[in-house]
Chain A
Amino acid sequence: MGFKNTFRVALRALARNKMRSALTMLGIIIGVGAVIAVVSIGQGAQYMVQQGIQAMGTNVVFIAAGSGRPGGIRVGYGGVKTLTIDDMNAILREIPLIKQAAPSVNSRKQIVYGNQNWSTIVNGTTPNYFEIRNWSIQSGSVFSDEEVDLAANVCVIGTTVAKNLFLDEDPVGKTLRIGNLPFRVDGVLESKGQNVIGQDQDDAVYAPYTTVQRKISGITWVQFINASAISPVASVAAVAPITSLLRERHRIRIGDDDDFFVRTQSEVADLMNQTQGVMTMLLGGIASVSLLVGGIGIMNIMLVSVTERTREIGVRMAVGATESDVRQQFLVEAVTLSMMGGAIGILFGLVGSALISNFLSWPTLVSVRAIVTAAVFSAAVGIFFGYYPARKAARLDPIEALRYE
């Protein structure tokens, strides 16, 4: 009996019990659909992380004033006062792997322009910060190093701030107030969107760190140092010398904790990727369980079907069907069920991930690999769970099968 014939017979047998076939397929549909949707969400997230990390600037080494415990009280990152601009200069001077560095002094402030006001982060830094972070200016210019030395009241603003404070006006050259101090807006930064952890990177004001230290926060230390190594490999290699240099400068005794924290982008990227990968695997695993359950459903229905059609099997055998003919017939039926379920599931998965990226604005990335895997898996489920019922059908004794009521 040719395959085309077997397939036709299988389709007809399934069409005979439409409701039952549909319900049986449901398990596979949900399983495959879930796998496709979950994997595409996971891959979308991973892709976004990679994009985000590239957007943050390559080769970046991030140093945070860290969790020291002055007086026995542990404070969070950026909480201890030991990290200074001199540390940054020492790193630049003594560690050749680092080619650039910019400090960060943050403070949340209310800023005002005309009758608009907005609460945002005021970030004190140097002009090369934007180079390190691959960030270009949309209009106007960045403040100069001289203005940093002079602690001038100048700033560049992100697009979110520009939109909320200046509405439709061009902010360049205008003066806004941070607290009570007037600042001239020198430029507006390109929009960078959300970072990997969902923060709006455009919601910030950047001013010379000297101005922020002296006039806004009233501190002499820095919270972060954004350094740039000569290559991605160098950024990882620089972590150890930076650590020992800073420990020495901060006079930390052997055995005591660092009062700073060094991170590289590749570390962050790895961590993020790993986290996403684990999440994807986990969700994929849960989805596979549903595939398994679907497979068991198929086996169950095929067993019922074999019992119901015992007489038909007897007749087929009497007129010349061999064991392998019968086995093939039921196997093809099971695989048809599971593959149809798989196909519908893939469709649902695609529609599902499209809906998710539309309504929840999560990025999704549908991978061909996931689709192929799902198709292969659903066929495998059909073969695996269809084999036992098919074998049972093939092993029936024609005499007893014909006598079956």
Chain B
Amino acid sequence: MAEQIIPIAEPTQTASQGKPVIRLENVYKIYDLGEIQVQALRGVSLEVREGEFVAVMGPSGSGKSTVMNILGCLDRPTKGRYYLDGVDVSGMSKTELARIRNRKLGFVFQQFNLLARTSALENVELPTVYAGVSPEERTKRAMESLTRVGLAERAGHHPSQLSGGQQQRVAIARALVNRPAILLADEPTGNLDSRTSVEIMQILQTLNEEQGLTIVIVTHEHDIAQYAKRTLEFRDGKLRRDNIVRERLVAHEVLKTLPTAEEQAAEDEEDNARQQRQAKGDAGIAK
């Protein structure tokens, strides 16, 4: 099977020169569905170095979600090795993996996945609770984390009192609170409008540029992938392309060109008015 290793994941091709935090070696994931076996990953090897910002892309069924689950220690490879921060985690028990998720990984989901009827602060504290941090230290760290995403003043709000973008920022704060080695984001902008999406990308870019946080996001949107430094494209369970992003988008520059929420509202109103006029016109024709 050694010949299936795809050479484009060689470190020489990556932009960053930091130490590797993720290394997959010839990883297979096979789902046994009784009569048939589904090969979700068929020999994936890749390396992500410290300080990288990687976008994982591919159509549905390409294996990108599977690779994300494995990177996130939510799933174990059927075959092959996964080194996270220099440690082989491919053979770890469920409890050990829970520890790893808690200490080394930060998750951001498409659905935000905040606990309902629980304040932003307590949501952010959640990972520290499982890390056995003292209550005072917990609150302190959670506040720091919320400050990093610019939501310190909303600490007491419940998710239902926050906009989608704000909820996702709380989720990012939660992902950061245990100072992870990697931030994993699964379609982080999938549920957000374009402006809010760019705002979220701005936060991620800032964390990556200014604090050197390693980020891996899954997205199927090309323009979102353009904010990353490197893209990995999956197809049929294999890594097909590993490119450095050229003409990288800078979120805070893009934001300047986008209408603000108020301008957007005004535009929407105009659109509505136009549609109504048109509808009337159509009705007139129908008569």
Contacts and interface: CB of A to CB of B under 8 A. Distances in A.
A240 interface: no
A318 B95 contact: no
A324 B75 contact: no
A320 B115 contact: no
A321 interface: yes
A321 to B, nearest CB: 5
Interface stretch (B13-21, B99-107, B193-201, B207-215): B99-107
A398 B127 contact: no
Interface stretch (A172-180, A279-287, A293-301, A309-317): A309-317
Given A319-B101, A319-B174, A320-B103, A312 B115 contact: yes
A316 B126 contact: yes
A318 B97 CA distance: 10
A402 B95 contact: no
A318 B130 contact: no
Contacts of B95: 322-324
B101 A320 contact: yes
B277 interface: no
Contacts of A318: 72, 74, 101, 107, 109, 113
Nearest to B127: A319
Interface in B62-106: 69, 72, 74-75, 94-95, 98-99, 101-103
B38 interface: no
B30 interface: no
B102 A320 contact: yes
B130 A321 contact: yes
Given A320-B101, A323-B95, A399-B74, A315 B127 contact: no
A397 to B, nearest CB: 8
B69 A325 contact: no
A387 B7 CA distance: 50
A104 to B, nearest CB: 77
B115 to A, nearest CB: 6
A93 B266 CA distance: 121
A304 interface: no
A319 B99 contact: no
A1 interface: yes
Interface in B112-132: 113-115, 117, 126-127, 129-132
A19 to B, nearest CB: 16
A361 interface: no
Contacts of B69: 399
Nearest to A320: B102
A369 interface: no
A319 B126 contact: yes
Given A1-B130, A318-B107, A323 B113 contact: no
Contacts of B174: 319
A322 B98 contact: yes
A148 B137 CA distance: 95
Contacts of B102: 319-320
Q: How large is the interface on A (under 10, 10 to 19, 20 to 34, 35 or more residues)?
A: 20 to 34
A323 B131 CA distance: 14
B109 A321 contact: no
Contacts of A317: 74, 98, 101
A199 interface: no
Contacts of B132: 1-2
Contact of B129 (A1, A312, A315): A1
Interface in A314-345: 314-325
B72 A320 contact: no
A5 interface: yes
Contacts of A324: 95
A99 B109 CA distance: 94
Contacts of A253: none
A321 B117 CA distance: 20
Contacts of B72: 318
A399 B76 CA distance: 12
A314 B113 contact: yes
Contact of A323 (B74, B94, B117): B94
Nearest to B72: A318
Contacts of A323: 94-95, 98
Contacts of A321: 98, 130
Contacts of A322: 94-95, 98-99, 130
Contacts of A1: 129-130, 132
A311 B113 contact: yes
A323 B72 CA distance: 17
A324 B115 CA distance: 20
A399 B178 CA distance: 21
A319 B74 contact: no
A318 B99 CA distance: 10
B54 to A, nearest CB: 20
A311 B116 CA distance: 11
Contacts of B107: 318-319
A368 to B, nearest CB: 37
Given A398-B74, A399-B69, A399-B74, A320 B113 contact: no
A339 to B, nearest CB: 23
B133 to A, nearest CB: 11
Contact of B113 (A16, A315, A399): A315
A50 to B, nearest CB: 55
A319 B171 CA distance: 11
21 contacts: A1-B129, A1-B130, A2-B132, A312-B115, A316-B126, A318-B101, A318-B109, A318-B113, A319-B102, A319-B126, A319-B130, A320-B99, A320-B178, A322-B94, A322-B95, A322-B98, A322-B99, A322-B130, A323-B95, A398-B74, A399-B69
Interface of A: 1-2, 5, 16, 311-312, 314-325, 398-399, 402
Interface of B: 69, 72, 74-75, 94-95, 98-99, 101-103, 107, 109, 113-115, 117, 126-127, 129-132, 174, 178
Given A1-B130, A318-B74, A323-B95, 4 more contacts: A5-B129, A318-B72, A319-B127, A322-B99
List 4 A-B pairs, minimum CB-CB distance, nearest first: A320-B102, A320-B130, A319-B127, A322-B98
